[in-house]
Chains A and B, each alone.
Chain A
Amino acid sequence: DVKVTQSSRYLVKRTGEKVFLECVQDMDHENMFWYRQDPGLGLRLIYFSYDVKMKEKGDIPEGYSVSREKKERFSLILESASTNQTSMYLCASSSDSNEQFFGPGTRLTVL
């Protein structure tokens, strides 16, 4: 089975802090994704990556950056957290089939 893990299930940070969310997959997938999910807005793509050191902006990249130094690891960085970044963050990975497999999610609260 594909396994995607995320570094934290719940996280509470203060406005202005730098936040790192980490995601690791064990199935040698080329593609990795970061989404946020908010009630009524569904899943929105923040960034994705086709390969190591490659990254592409999704639909809502503002306020976020990413890092992919190793194939299995994809990190999402909030440079200066703001209250409007309070959300559920979901990482996913996929092979060429485009079937995405999700991690358990990180519920981030920014105070």
Chain B
Amino acid sequence: QKEVEQNSGPLSVPEGAIASLNCTYSDRGSQSFFWYRQYSGKSPELIMSIYSNGDKEDGRFTAQLNKASQYVSLLIRDSQPSDSATYLCAATLGGYQKVTFGTGTKLQVIP
């Protein structure tokens, strides 16, 4: 079983719609969760961090964490073509400083 699991996609949404990206993790003791955006040929860029159950909003992005279900999601409102990228979910597993990444979900926003 993968430690951080994401659907590889591609997830296609029309411009202006809400994109919903999902992630599950295996370690109940995980404390910290992150979403990164990676454009093709570029390095990952941190979008959001979330540490407690519930929602955290930053502009058009909302991260949601449900520790009971071991589930993290990222909502992107009013999706733009510039949001087209691969989104990586990450969590601290098995050690405070070690972060494990999922393989990413490719998002395509269709104009």
Chain A: residues with CB nearer than 8 A to chain B?
Answer: 31, 40-43, 45, 48, 50, 58, 90, 94, 97-105
Rounded to whole angstroms, the CA-CA distance of A98 and B33 in the bound complex is 9
Rounded to whole angstroms, the CA-CA distance of A31 and B98 in the bound complex is 10
Q: How many residues of B contact A (CB 8 A)?
A: 20
- Are the C-beta atoms of A40 and B103 separated by less than 8 Å? yes
Chain B positions within 8 Å of A45 at CB level = 98, 100
Q: How far is the CB of A71 from chain B (nearest CB, A)?
A: 15
Chain B: residues with CB nearer than 8 A to chain A?
Answer: 32, 34, 42-46, 49, 88, 90, 92, 96-104
Q: A90-B44, A100-B46, A102-B44 are in contact. Are A42 and B99 (CB under 8 A)?
A: no
Interface centre among A48, A98, A102, A105 (most CB of B within 10 A): A98
Contact of A97 among B43, B49, B88, B100 (CB under 8 A): B49
Q: How far is the CB of B42 from chain A (nearest CB, A)?
A: 7
- Are the C-beta atoms of A104 and B43 separated by less than 8 Å? yes
Q: A31-B97, A42-B101, A48-B98 are in contact. Are A99 and B42 (CB under 8 A)?
A: no
